[in-house]
Amino acid sequence: MPSDATLLLVDKHVVEQLLIPDDVIAAVREAFELHGQRAGRVFPVVREKLTTGGIFGIKSGDVGSQELLGFKAAGFWPMNRTLGGEAHQATVLLFDPATGRPMCVIDGNAITTARTAAAGALGLSLLARKDSAVATVFGTGIQAKAQLAFALRTLPSLTRVNYVSLDREPQADFESLFADQCMLRCAANAEEAVAQSDVVITATTGSGPLFDEAALRAGTHLNCVGADTRGKRELPVGVLDRARIVVDDLEQARELGELQWAPQTPSVEMGHLVTGRAQWRRDPTDISVFDMTGLALQDLTVARLIHRRATKLGLGVTVAWPW
């Protein structure tokens, strides 16, 4: 057996340096295409609550034709905030499918943030009205910031943004990121903000409905991020009954996403839209929902992008990993 095998370690600083938004969107789109063609496999998701108060999950899959195999171990530990750390924790491993040998270990937090925001951008580009001018964002954390950043890139028509913070108070760090990109205001009344909106982005911890269903007006598109575990939800009862639903994966959405609350609701997978297997033509009065639970293939295609660039540029740390 070879004794000179190595393993590449890529930390968060290198990952953040290599995550170029347009390239991440392209990698995520490829993931949806692979899933839509069933050219890539998504293995059963592990998502379990821990006695420590955390949530631990594993998303894994492969693309046999591209020799791509790996998984992301990730979860949510809210007590990390009391330690000055990030509540979301994720690590991605890529393997050589011919031997099972690990090729690289990559910090997964930045990958998760970017690939989820890129998926949201695809949802907006395909599902939202092109003249959408007003958006409301629920949440002010890392994912909410990323979702809004990608949304403003994707829909140049968005000029006004309401944001709803947990305590309904202005968040200076959130405002500083977007003050020169749009008219931004902290909304004290969630229903009022939603009633004004063409686009609604929900990026919270999914602890319960965020607004009253009656506030949602015809023609609105919703990108829903926070429901990714059994028992989580962000949408009030009644929204799914009124909406046209797109999911990243039907089985996952029924198990972990908003669709868990109405599993028989008709829906279409995003992969079928990007490959043309399903068509989307919205009426101006349609309400649409993109229920995002996150695909392992998104993590893998973006991690491969990071691995290739880090290798080419000589970034990361290479350690001996003999057989």
Q: Using one digit for the tens of pLDDT, what is the confidence trace for 12-37?
A: 999 999 999 999 999 999 999 999 99
Tell whether the model's pLDDT for residue 143 goes beyond 80: yes
Q: Are 116 and 106 in contact (CB under 8 A)?
A: no
With CA atoms as reference, report the closest residue to 135 among 198, 179, 178.
198
Q: Using one digit for the tens of pLDDT, what is the confidence trace for 229-249?
A: 999 999 999 999 999 999 999
Residue 65 DSSP code? G
Residue ranges of domains in the chain: 6-111+297-320, 121-294
| Beta-strand pair 317-320/160-164 | unpaired
pTM of the model: 0.94
Q: Both tokens of residue 4?
A: 């000179």
Asked whether this chain's domains 6-111+297-320 and 121-294 adopt the same fold, the reply is no
Q: Using one digit for the tens of pLDDT, what is the confidence trace for 172-209?
A: 999 999 999 999 999 999 999 999 999 999 999 999 99
What does the CA dihedral 292, 293, 297, 298 come to, rounded to 10 degrees? 50
CATH architecture of 121-294: 3-Layer(aba) Sandwich (3.40)
6-111+297-320 is classed CATH 3.30.1780.10: yes
DSSP E strands, the chain: 6-10, 41-42, 46-49, 55-63, 68-76, 88-95, 102-107, 134-138, 160-164, 183-186, 199-202, 221-224, 244-247, 267-269, 288-291, 317-320
SS3 125: helix
* DSSP for 227-273, written as a single string: --STT-B-SPTTHHHHSEEEES-HHHHHHHSGGGGSTTS-EEEHHHH
